Structure 1
Amino acid sequence: MAPLRNSFLIRPVYDLLSSNKNLVRWGMSDDPTCPLCHGRQTTEHVLSKCKVALSQGRYTWRHNRVHQELASVICTAKGQPYPPSPSFSIFTT
Structure 2
Amino acid sequence: MPCISFFIRSVYDLLPSNTNRIRWGKKEDLTCPLCQGRQTTEHVLSSCKIALSLRRYTWRQELAAIISTAKGGSSLPETNALIFTTEGGAKS
Please tell me the TM-score bracket, short chain as reference: 0.5 to 0.7
Cα offsets for 1:2-39 (capped at 9, x unmatched):
2x221101011111000011001100000111000000
Identity %: 60
Please identify which structure carries the higher helix content.
1
The two structures, once aligned, show a CA RMSD in angstroms of: 1.7
Aligned partner letter, 1:6: I
Q: Which has the larger radius of gyration?
A: 1
Q: TM-score, normalised by structure 2?
A: 0.64
Q: What is the alpha-carbon distance in structure 1 between the residues aligned to residue 42 and residue 29 of structure 2?
A: 17
Aligned partner letter, 1:56: L
Q: Which stretches of structure 1, 4 residues or longer, exceed 2 Å deviation after superposition?
A: 62-67
Alignment of 1:66-81 (within 5 A): 66=63
Uncovered stretches (5+) of structure 1, i.e. residues with no partner: 71-93
Alignment of 1:1-93 (within 5 A): 2=1, 4-60=2-58, 62-63=59-60, 66=63
- Number of aligned residues: 66
